[in-house]
Amino acid sequence: MKHTGIARRLATMAAVMALAAAACTSPGSSAGPAATSGGGGTTSPTQAAKQYVIGFSNTGGTGNGFREEQNCTAKAEALASGQVSKVVMIAHNTDSAGQLSDLRDLISQGVDAIVFNPSSADALNPALAEAKTAGIKTVAVDAYVTDPDTWNFYNNQVDYAYLGATWLFKYLEANGHANGTIWYTRGIAGHPADTDRHTGFTKALSEHPGFKVLPSKDGVFTGWDPTTATNLANDFINSGDWDKIDGVWTSGMDSQVVDAVKAASKTQKPIVGADLGAFASYLLDSTKYQGLVGAAVTNTAAVGGAGVAVALKLLNGDTLTSDPASTRPNTLLLKPVLADNVTDAGKQTLQSWQSVQGLNPIWPLSVTLPDWTHYTAEQAVACKGPGE
């Protein structure tokens, strides 16, 4: 009992310190994509006295910078909010059946809310219905689920792909490759974000019908795994196909392609990637990566932290407004931003994204979402949740 009392006092002190830190620091320094939702709500970290337990489930992408940052921002938001006593984090590579099992473990544990990166839009619905029955709030981040009671908070992935692909097609058209060939690399087959991005890419391609796509219009899957992406790039280069293409569209496995091309002493081709540290720095380094032309599109991993913020709003009874731009209910969308290394404005934007010290080069550069998250970029990099 005595220990519990001490622990409680320590937790209260930590919460007060976190509140003070959150109040004294501006949330984040990096440029983030704009939240289009009007769901900002009214809850501030100072409002809630109750301490919640948040469950977090991430499947796939172990070793992937986006997923690592997503998990760390979730911990950081929980810490900075001052409303969370514990984050139960389950992050490993598994399939939908495995994630169902993870979600049920979190339900058994009696968490107050579950934030998760879904492996499938439909497969998790039974566990999400069980969570609702148990009074647990559920928030999907990075992709959507079709469960009607779960809130979805994610980057507008259709726009993400459309924006990047359109830039690539227009750049090539302006430089005499109107009927060029694109190497189309994707993420994880069946992941809702990948499916949405495919929709966006296909839409852009239909508006620029002169372009051909290799290996096919369905692209090739990297599994969002850096090793797989590197192997695929090496195979593509060694097959001789690299010399036949005019540009590359990647689903975030971008620096791996640039590195493989550099290692093979081949000519870089115009490439689209995400706002990952390594890729953005390559785009700005005209000495080491001479002739590299490309654009990065924001795909913030701060959705992990924002998901926790959304869960806390739901737990505190706040009203959220679904994004009218989405055809799905309970959806909050983030609008992606593109920056290239061709225009001065693009270069300046890329430069402005480089402000976070100690950021892992494979992490996305937009570490915070000022409209939603309360932690600092340094807290995200520290990757510590409450009680850690």
User: How are beta strands 220-221 and 181-186 bridged, if at all?
Assistant: parallel
Beta-bridge partners for 155: 334
Query: For 134-225, where are the alpha helices, taking DSSP H only?
Result: 157-174, 192-207
Region from 84-92, 265-273, 293-301, 329-337 binding another protein, contact rule CB under 8 A: 84-92
Q: Which is nearer to another protein, 193 or 332 (CB)?
A: 193
CA distance 50 to 19: 14
Asked whether position 107 contacts another protein by CB under 8 A, the answer is: yes
Q: Binding string, 173-192, against another protein, x = CB under 8 A?
A: ----------------xx--
Task: Give the shortest CB-145-to-another protein separation in angstroms.
Answer: 12
CA distance 233 to 239: 10
Task: Give the shortest CB-24-to-another protein separation in angstroms.
Answer: 29
75 burial (CB, 10 Å; 0-12 / 13-18 / 19+) is: buried
- Please say whether the beta carbons of 375 and 301 come within 8 A: no
Q: What is the DSSP letter of 239?
A: T
* Binders of another protein in range 210-249 (CB under 8 A): 218
Q: Which is nearer to another protein, 41 or 223 (CB)?
A: 223
Q: In the chain, what is the straight-line distance between the N-terminal and C-terminal CA atoms, in Å?
A: 22
Query: For 208-284, where are the alpha helices, taking DSSP H only?
Result: 226-238, 255-263, 277-284
Q: Which of 54, 72, 106, 260 contacts another protein by CB under 8 A?
A: 106
The CA-atom distances, in angstroms, between 366 and each of 62, 70, 243, 301, 385 are 20, 11, 33, 7, 19
Q: Which of 110, 148, 210, 329 contacts another protein by CB under 8 A?
A: 110
Q: Which of 21, 48, 95, 241 contacts another protein by CB under 8 A?
A: 95
Q: Which is nearer to another protein, 77 or 194 (CB)?
A: 194
* Binders of another protein in range 196-215 (CB under 8 A): none
Residue recorded with tokens 């970290």: 45
Say what angle helices 277-284 and 255-263 make with each other, to 10 degrees.
50
- Please say whether the beta carbons of 247 and 270 come within 8 A: yes
Q: Which is nearer to another protein, 20 or 189 (CB)?
A: 189
Q: Which of 36, 101, 181, 268 contacts another protein by CB under 8 A?
A: 101
Q: Which is nearer to another protein, 328 or 347 (CB)?
A: 328
Q: Which is nearer to another protein, 94 or 368 (CB)?
A: 94
Region from 88-96, 137-145, 200-208, 321-329 binding another protein, contact rule CB under 8 A: 88-96
CA distance 351 to 366: 12
CA distance 51 to 99: 26
Q: Which is nearer to another protein, 38 or 126 (CB)?
A: 126
Asked whether position 63 contacts another protein by CB under 8 A, the answer is: no
* Binders of another protein in range 133-172 (CB under 8 A): 134
Q: Which is nearer to another protein, 144 or 372 (CB)?
A: 144
Q: Which of 83, 125, 300, 331 contacts another protein by CB under 8 A?
A: 125
Asked whether position 370 contacts another protein by CB under 8 A, the answer is: no
Q: Which is nearer to another protein, 90 or 365 (CB)?
A: 90
Asked whether position 122 contacts another protein by CB under 8 A, the answer is: yes
Asked whether position 108 contacts another protein by CB under 8 A, the answer is: yes
Buried b (16+ CB within 10 A) or exposed e, 260-294: bbeeeeeebbbbbbbbbbbbbbbbeeeeebeebbb
CA distance 297 to 204: 15
Task: Give the shortest CB-202-to-another protein separation in angstroms.
Answer: 14
Q: Which of 46, 47, 109, 321 contacts another protein by CB under 8 A?
A: 109
Beta-bridge partners for 192: none
Q: Which of 73, 81, 94, 157 contacts another protein by CB under 8 A?
A: 94
Encoded tokens for 271: 């490439």
97 burial (CB, 10 Å; 0-12 / 13-18 / 19+) is: exposed
Could you list the residues that contact another protein (CB under 8 A)? 86, 88-98, 100-102, 104-110, 119-120, 122-123, 125-126, 130, 134, 189-190, 194-195, 218
